[in-house]
Amino acid sequence: MTELVHLEVADQVATITLDSERNRNALSKQLVSELAAHLATADADPQAKAILIRSAGTVFCSGADMTEAVAGGMAEGAKAIVTLQRQIATAAKPVVVELGGPVRAGGLGIVGAADIVIAAESVSFQLTEVRLGLAAAIISLSLIPRFSDRAAGDLFLTARTFDAAEAAQVGLITRAVPDNELEAEIARVLADLCKAYPQGLRESKRILNRDLVARIDERGDEVAALSAELFASDEAREAMSAFLERRKK
């Protein structure tokens, strides 16, 4: 089986790369499982002070794997994505996300749970769930604390596409930079993180993410159950099937 997520540790940084180009880094069972495993390995590695999540190809993440969702539902998948968000938020090391390509739906859960997110100005975002008979249930755990109420209502309900500048304005990402400066900005952020002592990073992150982790622990089971129920509904299955048919054409 071809590996969909890669891990490399160098210069005190553990770099995790999503590499499932065939489905635009959709959150398949395999990709989520491998991402979680590499996160655990990176967090335990004494040679790494920071963790970087990035993507190969042109898309960071296209959201849920629709093919898997239509075929087998999302009961286990929803729980796994809740767990993944908690894993990112509770990692002892800061998790930085580099966005060089678009992010859709469930992929925003990785963005919301991360500590620092730098995006190229050309990157676009979209919470597509309502257009598929779904709701952004599991990723609401990490997204709602980032947004103002008005921004969340707008972006969750309209499912409109928004750009990196707006994502920074509403608090989803840390900042947007010109596309040709993304690599240099990521290097600068990581260099700053690597100047810190591990204890300082760990305890600062624990303070910063206390409320987020409490929210995940309090509501994780509830929203995972809701997500699974919505994915299994006739309305959503019809919408997802139609989406997959359009993609084939």
Query: What pLDDT is recorded for position 53?
Result: 98
Judge contact between 217 and 65, C-beta under 8 A.
no
pLDDT at 249 > cutoff 70: no
Residue holding tokens 């990709």?
31
Q: In whole angstroms, give the CA distance from residue 104 to residue 123.
A: 11
Percent of the chain's residues with pLDDT above 90: 92
pLDDT in tens, 38-94: 999 999 999 999 999 999 989 999 999 989 988 877 889 999 999 999 999 999 999
Q: Give this prediction's pTM.
A: 0.96
